[in-house]
Structure 1
Amino acid sequence: MNTFRNHLLEEFFGNISNGLNRFSFASSFSSSPLPKTKKRRFPIVSAVDIGGVTVARNDVVRDDDPTNNVPDSIFSKLGMQLHRRDKHPIGILKNAIYDYFDSNYAKQFEKFEDLSPIVTTKQNFDDVLVPADHVSRSLNDTYYVDSQTVLRCHTSAHQAELLREGHRRFLVTGDVYRRDSIDSTHYPVFHQMEGFCVFSPGEWNESGKDSTLYAAEDLKKCLEGLARHLFGGVEMRWVDTYFPFTEPSFELEIYFKEDWLEVLGCGVTEQRILKQSGLENNVAWAFGLGLERLAMVLFDIPDIRLFWSDDERFTSQLFKGCSFMMITLLRCLLADKIDSQMSIGPQYLRK
């Protein structure tokens, strides 16, 4: 079976020379100490383009608002949209997921990938039933532009808006923002894809099944197919979990490289979400996945910060079909990018 992962291995790693074992090499290098470099002040960007709209720095980074905690290092990432770059690992993975849905659902799923990441607190929290006292609402977890506006923490922030506009099956892809410590697997800016599917009463009545059971079975069938599309014939398991916006809720895990890997979270949408959009007689499912998390596995990328490199040594090595995990390249990238321009650790976070 020619899976997406096999295609990646053939296309990007087929020309590895000198007998390098990229799996053991990546793991051994990731634990090596990084060369120390002098930290530099992050350059200030005066404006960014978001979906064709120019957004000024002073509209997002507000020194006069005590609620605002958006630093320049985060503002500069707005509008970069790595998921819309077809030759970037994030863009390649996004398109592979699109291919799965287009092939298996006859292009029934609409695609949205240029929605503004600046949303209201109602969109980000209330519309997806995040409790008023939930820790994710705190200034320590979320980037606030002002008391009523944030940088979205998840692509679910657009669910209610799209449902009210009449969309019933859709994929939303975009950059999301969460205040987090920075290391090889965590970064305060990353990319998510949200999937949403609404069913009418006639669909589950015809099956003779309960609406929730019908949606849950359809959801699992869809996502198991997606996992096979990306990873091949891997072993899978479903784990019951909790999300405020779905019930029941699940996580899909695959057995990969002798360990269980969480692929995505999903569930049957809470009826309150559908009711507030005028769909109280329907049932729906939703899923969300982190593109960086999966791309790091599929491309064997050892450090999440490398996704943000604008160094041609990174992209040229990757897309010439050679493994970019070559010691000279990585040491250079990690030394002069991660510890300086790419790093936006606590020393850069205002408040």
Structure 2
Amino acid sequence: MSTLLSNLELQLTTLQSEAQSAIAAAATLDALEQLRVSYLGKKGELSQILKGMGKLEPGDRPHIGAIANDVKELVQTALEQKKVDLQSAQIHAKLESETLDVTMPGIYMPQGRIHPLNAMMDRALDIFVGLGYTVADGPEMETDYYNFEALNTPPDHPARDMQDTFYLPDGNLLRTHTSSVQIRYMEENDPPIRIIAPGRCYRRDTEDATHAAVFHQIEILAIDEGLTFTDLKGTIEIFLEEMFGSVPIRFRASYFPFTEPSAEVDVQWNGRWLEVLGCGMVDPNVLKIAGYDPEVYTGFAAGFGVERFAMVLHQIDDIRRLYTSDLRFLNQF
């Protein structure tokens, strides 16, 4: 046997031994991949050894080739087995780190609560939706037309003094009531209509225990043929009975520019009369502006402050408590 042949056999045997030892010691998949490239890659150690086959006698080459194939197969087998082992270990370690002990007590997360104003609006909406009303919405930034003129309140009307309005530089304003929603809805829908319009309103009130510059209002509107004040009265009585229970109710004559006749409604609460809402039959001028024939259709409207209802029903002494976000207060509801 020639010296070159013996040398190649020794190199192949040594490579096999070193490769198997290195593969067994590999701790990561990345390290294992580096070993594969180092031993079996195009420029790996096995390829470098086989370059010496060109100097062998033709009869010795098959012998070295067979040994090289055996070495390559053994190294590949060792690599594949080690890869499976490392992957299994990796999965096991991940499962161990992500295992949850379902017997351990959970982390307490306090439940949120519905704000008393939202709860009061939801309660009112449920009542009127149950009576066949549709919820309507509109913009909080309004034009003078929808907030005043279309509601029978022209620029020189004295009723504008009843409401201190926030006017904006562009000529628009922050709505002082949700009645503007009624006009927008009437313009886009033919009668009969029955809507309830909840939303935020703005007035330049001095803030104290019973007044706020920002407040919430709910208004209802019904337009149809033959509606009378009796229909309004019955609707209001049903609503107030659902809200306050069986309590005495009285209607007092009042004035609103967009209803005629108009009334304010009181309930007897804790031994005294308490004003809770305003209402009336829709003024014929409002019907004309919206495009309705007042000779054919009549309607009624009513509105009330959500804060007032919340303060009465929850016995809240100061309206400002509703806006402080004090959890000690809110957790009571």
1:109 equivalent in structure 2:
133
Please tell me whether residue 99 in structure 1 is matched to residue 157 in structure 2. Answer: no
1:285 equivalent in structure 2:
300
Mapped to 2, the partners of 1:130 and 1:185 lie a distance apart of 26
Which amino acid letter does the alignment assign opposite residue 122 of structure 2? N
Mapped to 1, the partners of 2:162 and 2:259 lie a distance apart of 25
Q: Which runs of 5+ in 2 are unaligned?
A: 1-111
CA shift, 1:241, in A, is 0.8
Tell me which protein shows more helix as a share of its residues: 2
CA shift, 1:86, in A, is 7.5
CA shift, 1:152, in A, is 0.3
2:321 equivalent in structure 1:
306
1:260 equivalent in structure 2:
273
Which of these residues, 147, 151, 166, is aligned with residue 128 of structure 1?
A: 151
Mapped to 1, the partners of 2:224 and 2:113 lie a distance apart of 32
Mapped to 1, the partners of 2:113 and 2:142 lie a distance apart of 26
TM-score (normalizing by structure 1):
0.59
Which of these residues, 180, 187, 192, is aligned with residue 157 of structure 1?
A: 180
Please tell me whether residue 89 in structure 1 is matched to residue 110 in structure 2. Answer: no
SS in structure 2 at match of 1:146: coil
**Mean alpha-carbon deviation: is it higher for 93-102 or for 296-305?**
93-102
CA shift, 1:311, in A, is 2.6
CA shift, 1:110, in A, is 1.0
Is the 1:136–1:142 contact (alpha carbons within 8 Å) kept by the matching residues of 2? Answer: no
SS in structure 2 at match of 1:190: strand
**Mean alpha-carbon deviation: is it higher for 120-129 or for 140-149?**
140-149
2:250 equivalent in structure 1:
237
Q: 1:100 to 1:138 in 2, by over 3 A?
A: closer
Is the 2:203–2:213 contact (alpha carbons within 8 Å) kept by the matching residues of 1? Answer: yes
Is the 2:129–2:135 contact (alpha carbons within 8 Å) kept by the matching residues of 1? Answer: no
2:25 equivalent in structure 1:
none
CA shift, 1:312, in A, is 2.2
Which amino acid letter does the alignment assign opposite residue 292 of structure 2? L
2:197 equivalent in structure 1:
172
Q: 1:297-318: per-residue Cα shift (whole Å, max 9, x none)?
A: 00111110111122322222x1
SS in structure 1 at match of 2:303: strand
Please tell me whether residue 226 in structure 1 is matched to residue 230 in structure 2. Answer: no
Is the 2:175–2:201 contact (alpha carbons within 8 Å) kept by the matching residues of 1? Answer: yes
Q: 1:143 to 1:116 in 2, by over 3 A?
A: same
Q: Percent identity?
A: 37
CA shift, 1:279, in A, is 1.1
Q: 1:139 to 1:227 in 2, by over 3 A?
A: closer
SS in structure 2 at match of 1:238: strand
1:207 equivalent in structure 2:
none
**Mean alpha-carbon deviation: is it higher for 259-268 or for 140-149?**
140-149
CA shift, 1:120, in A, is 0.3
Is the 2:163–2:176 contact (alpha carbons within 8 Å) kept by the matching residues of 1? Answer: no
Query: Highest relative contact order (Cα 8 Å, sep 6+), 1 or 2?
Result: 1
> What RMSD in Å do the two structures reach over aligned CA positions?
2.0
TM-score (normalizing by structure 2):
0.62
1:297 equivalent in structure 2:
312
Mapped to 2, the partners of 1:158 and 1:116 lie a distance apart of 8
1:343 equivalent in structure 2:
none
Which amino acid letter does the alignment assign opposite residue 187 of structure 2? R
SS in structure 2 at match of 1:275: helix
Which amino acid letter does the alignment assign opposite residue 308 of structure 1? Y
CA shift, 1:247, in A, is 0.6
Q: Which runs of 5+ in 1 are unaligned?
A: 1-84, 205-213, 320-351
Q: 1:101-133: per-residue Cα shift (whole Å, max 9, x none)?
A: 233x2xx211024x3210001111101112423
Which amino acid letter does the alignment assign opposite residue 198 of structure 2? T
1:190 equivalent in structure 2:
215
1:345 equivalent in structure 2:
none
SS in structure 2 at match of 1:181: coil
Task: Count residues in correspondence.
Answer: 218
SS in structure 1 at match of 2:168: strand
Is the 1:86–1:92 contact (alpha carbons within 8 Å) kept by the matching residues of 2? Answer: no
